Amino acid sequence: MIEDLSSEIPAHTVATYPFDDTCADVILRTSDNIDFYVYKIVLALASPFFKDMFSLIQPTSTNESHHIVPFTESGSTIEHILQLVYPISEPPPPTTLNMVDNVLEASIKYQIEKTTAKMKQALLTFVDSEPVAVFAIACRLMLEDEAMVAARACWRAAGMMGSNHPGHVFSSAQSSGFPQEMERISAGPYFRLLRYVKNRDESAPFHLQPPPASGIPAEDGGTPPSSWRGTGADVILESRDGIQLPAHMNILSLVSAGEMLGKGDNRVSAEGGLPIIRLDEEFTAIRTLLRLCYPFPEDGGLIDLQHLARIMATKYNIPKAASLAQDLMGRQMEENPLRVYLIAKEYGWETEVKTATRECTNMVDSERFYGMYAPEMETCSARVYYDLLECCLRERVTLIRRKRYEKLRHAIS
């Protein structure tokens, strides 16, 4: 029996006027299979992206149909953009923040200046009703000015609600709690928003970018340490950023690091004929790896906890890494439990997560806790940091209630 597969083949719907004109010279096919017949010249005039793209498309022969350009955006998003760039009546502004977000992101992606400007204006019409969501969108799209406006709106909303605790910014500024838009940005901008609101100075500037100094020992760029620059090397380790470090197979094997040689792409160097193992790591991580393998003097300042954690948790089985990580974790737990929490959370180390959470809870009422920064905040989700704050606040309230109960019970007895 032959199965009917027609239902599995996506049907292509032709867009409505004026994007149903088959005399047009290209078809834009959206993610929901809507075909927009458009004229290249209109899009080329509106966007350097389209101008460059169309210059690469070969003209179709007389017996071929239109060239089809697939898009990842939905039909509603592409239609709104086309209605703005075509010489027709402009559409009404989007009525939902989600629509503004989609059209704005696509406009920036395709370098359409006109629609980008209009969607920036539309974004700010939601700033009073949904300041945190607008802030998140502006941060994700790297819109510094719009992020500043949204941060000030959060400042005003938190002030009107009488919220002096930075952990309450979201619940104060937006009754729905943690908005879904925040799921798509890192904890770094969220941290800076909390600091901005807590400072209670609306005139202060807000910056999207992280602070210039993170408190983490600086790496010395891409210069390999002189201690292992070549004598007797029989293998070359190459980082994903193209920096090469000579190494010795016997030393790697002695410390059980030989496993890493099977995790890279192999080729032979043009000079010397040494095998090159290209690892999916940055230079600083490979340098940390080699510091664990070679008998160099111990210097914890040159080994970063994040690189060490990555080596331990995801890549290579090196026994020395475990003891060193334990030592670094202990030091960081006192200096910056937030950083330990973020790293442990990323790699699923539940014991360290619980310990770091407890340390953070003990600090939750101090100014130091809300000024505590970790470079991992720029890569981890804002949700992770938000959940930590919420957990610390709950645990703190529970602890206070328990102490009050014990005090009352002692007084009664």
pLDDT for position 210: 78
Give a yes or no: residue 113 inside a domain.
Answer: no
Give a yes or no: residue 337 inside a domain.
Answer: yes
Domain boundary among 158, 184, 209: 209
- At residue 241 the predicted structure's pLDDT band, cuts being 50, 70 and 90, is confident
Mark whether 205 and 230 lie in a shared domain: no
Contact indicator for 99, 133 with CB cutoff of 8 Å: no
Nearest Cα to Cα of residue 381 among 186, 206, 98: 186
Does residue 299 have a pLDDT over 60?
no
Mark whether 288 and 329 lie in a shared domain: no
The DSSP code sequence of 163-205 is: ---GGGHHHHH-TT-S-GGGGGSBHHHHHHHHHHHHHT-TTS-
How many other C-beta atoms are found inside a 10 Å radius of the C-beta of residue 358?
14
pLDDT for position 122: 97
Give a yes or no: residue 395 inside a domain.
Answer: yes
Question: 309: burial class by Cβ within 10 Å (0-12, 13-18, 19+)?
Answer: buried
Mark whether 340 and 296 lie in a shared domain: no
Mark whether 253 and 222 lie in a shared domain: yes
Q: Which residue has the higher pLDDT, 222 or 262?
A: 262
Rounded to whole angstroms, the Cα distance separating 309 from 329 reads 10
Nearest Cα to Cα of residue 167 among 344, 336, 365: 365
Mark whether 192 and 242 lie in a shared domain: no
Residue pointed to by tokens 């095998």 = 275
Minimum mean pLDDT among 147-161, 165-179, 334-348, 369-383: which range? 165-179
Mark whether 267 and 338 lie in a shared domain: no
- The domain that holds 69 is classified in CATH as 3.30.710.10
Q: Is the pTM of this model over 0.85?
A: no
Mark whether 330 and 390 lie in a shared domain: yes
pLDDT for position 215: 47
How many other C-beta atoms are found inside a 10 Å radius of the C-beta of residue 110?
21
Please give the angle made by the CA atoms of 232, 235 and 237, to the nearest 5 degrees.
125
Residues in Cβ contact with 44 at an 8 Å cutoff, skipping those fewer than 6 apart = 50, 51, 54
Give a yes or no: residue 151 inside a domain.
Answer: yes
Please give the angle made by the CA atoms of 152, 157 and 159, to the nearest 5 degrees.
95
Mark whether 157 and 248 lie in a shared domain: no
Give a yes or no: residue 310 inside a domain.
Answer: no
Rounded to whole angstroms, the Cα distance separating 103 from 99 reads 6
- Sign of the CA dihedral 362, 172, 387, 382? negative
Minimum mean pLDDT among 15-29, 45-59, 103-117, 319-333: which range? 319-333
- At residue 218 the predicted structure's pLDDT band, cuts being 50, 70 and 90, is very low
Rounded to whole angstroms, the Cα distance separating 378 from 296 reads 32
- Sign of the CA dihedral 239, 240, 241, 244? positive
Domain boundary among 182, 209, 236: 209
Mark whether 81 and 13 lie in a shared domain: yes
Residue 111 one-letter amino acid:
Q
Contact indicator for 393, 169 with CB cutoff of 8 Å: no
Domain boundary among 162, 178, 209: 209
- Sign of the CA dihedral 62, 63, 69, 74? positive
The domain containing residue 36 runs over which residues?
1-102
Nearest Cα to Cα of residue 261 among 276, 271, 274, 240: 276
Mark whether 346 and 364 lie in a shared domain: yes
What's the domain count of the chain?
A: 4
Mark whether 291 and 359 lie in a shared domain: no
H helices of 47-201, in order, are: 48-56, 75-85, 97-109, 113-124, 131-140, 144-160, 169-173, 187-199
Per-residue pLDDT tens over the stretch 355-409: 999 999 988 877 788 888 998 999 999 999 999 988 888 887 887 777 777 777 7
Mark whether 322 and 401 lie in a shared domain: yes
